[in-house]
């Protein structure tokens, strides 16, 4: 089991899009959220490095890396 937890500030009522890519740059998950705190389940993902980006109002405002063990 596992989950990613994101807290987004300053984007009240904005639709936030999460994109998760594997280490080869392939899109493996995409979801949309309206809450400032959201959880994303990772249990079915294989172990490895993943890249994420968060987008709201047509602009990417955060990128990062996550290691799934």
* CA nearest to 64, candidates 10, 18, 31: 18
Q: Structure tokens of 43?
A: 């249990």
Chain segment 24-52, per-residue pLDDT in tens: 999 999 999 988 888 888 889 999 999 99
Tokens 């602009």 sit at which residue? Answer: 59
Residues 28 and 19 sit within 8 Å (Cβ to Cβ): no
How far apart, in whole angstroms, are the C-alpha atoms of residue 61 and residue 57?
A: 10
Q: What is the DSSP letter of 24?
A: T
Q: Whole-model pTM?
A: 0.85
Chain segment 45-68, per-residue pLDDT in tens: 999 999 999 999 899 999 999 999
């Amino acid at each position: 089991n596992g989950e990613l937890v994101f807290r987004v500030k300053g984007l009240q009522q904005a639709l936030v899009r999460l994109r998760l890519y594997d280490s080869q740059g392939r899109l493996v998950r995409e979801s949309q959220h309206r809450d400032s705190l959201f959880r994303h389940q990772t249990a079915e993902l294989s172990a490895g490095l993943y890249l994420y980006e968060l987008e709201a109002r047509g602009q990417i405002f955060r990128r990062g890396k996550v290691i799934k063990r």
